Amino acid sequence: MADELFDIYDEHMNPLGTATRSETHAKGYWHRTIHCWLTRKEGDHRLVRFQLRQTTKDTNPSCYDITAAGHLSAGETLTEAVRELEEELGVQAPLEQLIPLCQVREQCEGVVNGVPFIDREVSDVFGLVCETPLAELRLQPEEVAGVFEAELEALLALFEGSLPELSAYGVELPPGGGPLIEAHAVVRADQFVPRDFSYYTNVLRSLRNCT
């Protein structure tokens, strides 16, 4: 499969042209992504969903992460980038249905399978109220190993450091494919994609009022 092509930028977000995904992460070019957090209410409780990244991802494999996220391909707009929701989760929603939360700049470095990477992203972050049952999601096998759900306030306590771990229920792709299977996980903050925890706490507080 051909390597994805991204628009790349300098640290001031001045365009530099385009580069492949592998070159972008190897040389640490700034590029754009979209984040979307799925949430819903159950009685008086606000629930938030998060994904388990596949073991084969080129950055942060097997970590918990944003419900759905992805890079903007070269020439792509946010309106077009919402395709990530359908590709990763099988959820269809136009950009107008998403709730803008914030824009963040992040950078991290690491090594995956002996290959170093420098990931520098400017991300537009959204929320989406989604009532689709977990069992009806269609997970993209190359990207998503599972999707879990937990109470917002418990997740907030987790990232604020007042809760060491929490129980989350969800669905996972079984080995070899087939229908989603129910799953349970005991989740710690350090199992999420490494970010300043203020990212997670700010997003969770913003999700409280999503309707």
Task: Output the pLDDT for position 69.
Answer: 95
Residue 19 pLDDT greater than 50, yes or no: yes
CA atoms within 13 A on the CB side of 45: 10
Q: Predicted confidence band at 209 (pLDDT cuts at 50, 70, 90)? A: confident
Cβ neighbours of residue 99 under 8 Å, at least 6 residues apart? 126, 127, 128, 129, 210
pLDDT tens digits along 25-80: 999 999 999 999 999 999 999 999 999 999 998 778 999 999 999 999 999 999 99
For the chain, the domains span 5-207
Flag whether pLDDT at 113 surpasses 90: no
Identify the sign of the CA torsion 95, 97, 98, 100.
Answer: positive
* pTM greater than 0.85 (yes/no): yes
Band (pLDDT 50/70/90 cuts) for residue 2 is low
pLDDT bin (cut points 50, 70, 90) of residue 1 is: very low
**Mean pLDDT, residues 100-105:** 96
In 161-170, which positions are buried (b, 16+ CB within 10 angstroms) versus exposed (e)?
Answer: eeeeebebeb
CA 105, chain centre distance (Å): 15
Per-residue pLDDT of 137-153, as tens digits, reads 999 999 999 999 999 99
How far is 34 from 125, CA to CA, in rounded Å? 6
User: Which amino acid, one-letter code, is at 171?
Assistant: V
Q: Is residue 163 over pLDDT 80?
A: yes
Query: Residue 192: pLDDT above 50?
Result: yes
- pLDDT bracket for residue 109 (50, 70, 90): confident
Does CATH place domain 5-207 in 3.20.20.100? no
